[in-house]
Chain A
Amino acid sequence: MAGERTGDDRLRGRGLTLAFGPRIVQSDLEFSVRTGSIFAVMGGSGCGKSTVLRAMVGLLRPAAGTVLVDGEDYWAAAEARRAEIGRRFGVLFQNGALWSSMTVAENVALPLAMLTRLDAGSIEALARLKLSLVGLGAAGGRMPSELSGGMRKRAGLARALALDPDILFLDEPSAGLDPIASKRLDDLILELRDGLGATIVMVSHELPSLFAVCDDGVFLDAEARTAIAHGAPRSLRDRCDHPTVRAFMARARPEYAREGPDGRR
């Protein structure tokens, strides 16, 4: 189901196999991310979602297979070219991963200062703009350790937006946030996609935000160690008949999903 489209694919995984030494995490992944879509990498805890993300953003070399960015083989490219492609990515890490020795505004400004030739005034203005996009206009002078979890995520998002990326990678954006903060972040993601025209790849297992924002996706399974379903979270919920996917979407345990919620007890 994935793999035939080529024309408008921003990102494609082709035979992607990820391993830590001899331990294979995921193998033979095939997926394609359409330009402008919000693509979900779903699956239970520990199935290797974040590892797949790390391979997509260039932090972990796959054991086999590759990632194509606009048709170009990312992992076959030379290191300098990979860095160049990588500059079109913005990454939000699971805990924000803000540089803790700098203020929030400096965090957003650093990539601009390091990777562009803008003067100090424009960098400051851009950093302030990105922070106000995520609703942190007033918090620029604060240190990351003074921020709450939700604010840290948003600050990380502002930093990921610093270079106006074509592809935005979000690792568990709403994990650990209260329902209201999580909803606000979902809305923000939708608005950013519409406003900036970015393609978004999102790793998540939070059902409400998956249903709310994602329009395509791939479902990874820890036992099969590969993708077991492709499609938008909502259509997987309504139509997919793989027991693990159904259990996940219905928030039930796999062995009960087949026989209803009180199959055993």
Chain B
Amino acid sequence: MTTRHTAPPGWRLERRGLEDAVLCLTGDWIARETGLRDAAAVRQVLAAAGGAMRLRFETDGLGRWDSALIAFLRALREAAAVMAPAANAGRRIELDETDLPEAARRLLALAAESGPAPPAAAPAAADPLLARTGHRATARWAEAVAALVGETVLRGAAALGGRVWTRPADVLELMREAGAGALGIVAVCNGLVGGILAFVGAVQLRRFGAEIFVADLVGIAMAREMAAMMTAIVMAGRTGGAYAAQIATMQGNEEIDALKAFGIPVFDYLVLPRILALVAMMPLLYLYACAVGLLGGLVVGMATLDLTAAAYLQETQKAVAGRQFLIGLAKSVAFGALVALAGCHIGLAAGRSAAEVGRAATGAVVAGIIGVIALDAVFAVCANALGI
């Protein structure tokens, strides 16, 4: 961009007699064009000036300069100040800055006022991997989960006793946002999953001439597993992340402090309505997701296997017992509570910066999805043990 020729920055040390050394600075010292001199250059200067009492500067050859020069001079100053006299024939070298440009002297004086930069903290000794993992797991998860579940139970009990600060209007608004607002995306995800299941089943079952059992496969898989899980994952990404981001932003804005200062309980006002909204909406979304998933399977079955709609639906009705829906409903309630709790808790634990809001949203989505899948595994093991 610049049309001017940039001369590379340089220095040359001249000895003038026994006592004096002169540092001749040449070229252009522009940080963004020529970079900074590093600590090695500073050490070289001091080594070359070894034995001298005084270091003067000569700037006749100096072209343009900016912070690059100041950084170099400051490093030189600090290095000279801490240099052990023994390394310099028993004498401390003195910098004579009178020949530097006036502006550079001012900047140096300004930089010196704030004192030398503190040394970088030594990195903490690393624990063994296993210990680190354990500490993190207990600190991050075990405590958080225990605190959350405990608080939810206690405040929930208080709510039943009539001492509650949650406003019905807030809950309704959150329910509308989490429920009706999610219909589209839940339909897309579950319809596609139902169709995919039907495709997978069709390929295998056709080999046995058992095409009609695609309806059983899709029906049971959707009602028992996929509808609840897919919906929960969608809600973790959509609503859990939004809760975390909202609450983290309120945290950064001192809005949470304002609530506390009024004595409005944050849990009742912010967390409980969100849990209630998701717990109320998830079972409904689950039933809707089942229906859409079955429809997806039906479309694929009719298109690829030449099944009639009546036969497909009849087979589905035969295959899917009420029990499967009960398991799915129970899961959807648990998933809803988990996603809302994770979002709110991570939001409340966030710090006060824009980066923290992003981190909270990401954390809530990740925790929600992993939590949902892990909880689903627990359900599967329990259902297997109970034989249902």
Contacts and interface: CB of A to CB of B under 8 A. Distances in A.
Interface stretch (B52-60, B76-84, B132-140, B256-264): B256-264
A170 B108 CA distance: 40
A101 B261 CA distance: 18
Given A100-B250, A114-B165, A87 B257 contact: no
A113 B261 CA distance: 15
B263 A59 contact: no
Contacts of B167: 113-114
A83 B165 CA distance: 14
Given A113-B167, A114-B165, A114-B269, A95 B264 contact: no
A93 interface: yes
Contact of B261 (A59, A94, A99): A59
A207 interface: no
B4 to A, nearest CB: 34
B255 A58 contact: no
A115 interface: yes
A15 interface: no
A93 B269 contact: no
B260 A114 contact: no
B253 interface: yes
A89 B263 CA distance: 10
Interface string A82-97: 0110110101011101
Interface residues of B, number: 17
Given A113-B167, A114-B165, A114-B269, A94 B254 contact: yes
Interface residues of A, number: 25
A114 B254 contact: no
Interface string B259-295: 1111110000100000000000000000000000000
A93 B263 CA distance: 15
Contacts, number: 54
Nearest to A80: B263
A99 B255 contact: yes
A98 interface: yes
A83 B167 CA distance: 19
Interface string A204-242: 000000000000000000000000000000000000000
A112 to B, nearest CB: 10
A86 B262 contact: yes
A97 B263 contact: no
Contacts of A89: 261
A111 interface: yes
Given A113-B167, A114-B165, A114-B269, A97 B264 contact: no
Nearest to B257: A59
A203 to B, nearest CB: 14
A87 B262 contact: yes
Contact of B262 (A94, A100, A115): A115
A206 to B, nearest CB: 20
A100 B262 CA distance: 16
B345 to A, nearest CB: 20
Interface of A: 54, 57-59, 83-84, 86-87, 89, 91, 93-95, 97-101, 110-111, 113-115, 159, 163
Given A59-B257, A114-B165, A114-B262, 7 more contacts: A91-B262, A93-B254, A95-B254, A99-B250, A101-B246, A113-B167, A114-B269
29 contacts: A59-B257, A59-B260, A84-B263, A86-B261, A86-B262, A86-B263, A89-B261, A91-B261, A91-B262, A94-B254, A95-B253, A97-B253, A97-B258, A99-B250, A99-B255, A99-B258, A99-B259, A100-B249, A100-B250, A100-B253, A111-B262, A111-B264, A113-B167, A114-B165, A114-B167, A115-B263, A115-B264, A159-B258, A163-B262
Closest 4 CB pairs of A and B: A97-B254, A83-B263, A91-B261, A97-B258
